[in-house]
Amino acid sequence: MDTSLLNKLENLGYYTLPQRHEHCIGHTGLLILMRRQPSAGQVTFDPQTIHLRLLDWDGKAHWTTFKANTPFPMSRIICPGVISVQAQNGERATFFVFGGSLEARDESPGEKVYSLRSSAPVLNLSTTNTTADRLAAEVEALWAKLQSSWAMSDEAFWHQLTKVYPFRLFVATIQTILNQYEQTPELHTGQQQELYYGLLHEKTWLQETGQWPEPVPTLEDLRP
């Protein structure tokens, strides 16, 4: 890994990879540095655990918690949803993904870097109700309704969503949300309107760069 990037990681604890464009709602990936022993110096954030849902080798989706000394194969498939990183002092950093992959490699002695990559934006969540926060909340509510309509167990539902290419799931999800806003004008108020225009800008950029699929997949298209 580039020395300057590793130095940043050693201080910051995690690093969001660049956005695809200036106003993108999320990032192209995430790097997390974990130490087998707490940092002896002053650091901004010192990750201790990563909590996320993974697709296991037997095809089952389940929650997993990683530490720096957790044995890790070359690559794992991440299920859509929340990823929580907890620091040594109890602070948390939270992210939301539409799926992706997670790899780990040893860097300096006693340090391991986890690399998360996805074809869909990785949302960096906060407690300040940002556009990314509102999108994650909308998506979780939408997926909960989807699971209910499909009458699937947690394990079966998350296995099905994880089988979908992350970018395809992202497009189908945000198009569904855009449709809801366009069909319900009363939603066009305040922060909800900011989310609508943020998603519309994302769709427009994907169209202009030739990445928006036609026809657009719907969430029902993803049903097994």
Residue 47 CA, distance from chain mean position: 17
The pLDDT value given to residue 143: 97
The pLDDT value given to residue 188: 67
Task: For domain 3-124, give the fold.
Answer: ATP Synthase; domain 1 (2.60.15)
DSSP classification of residue 17? P
47 prior amide bond cis, ω within 30:
no
The segments of the chain whose pLDDT lies below 50 read none
Ranges for all domains in the chain classified under CATH 2.60.15.10: 3-124
Write out the H or E segment, with its range, that includes residue 62: strand 61-66
The pLDDT value given to residue 178: 95
**Strand, coil or helix: 7:** helix
Q: Which residue, 84, 92, 105, is CA-closest to 6? A: 105
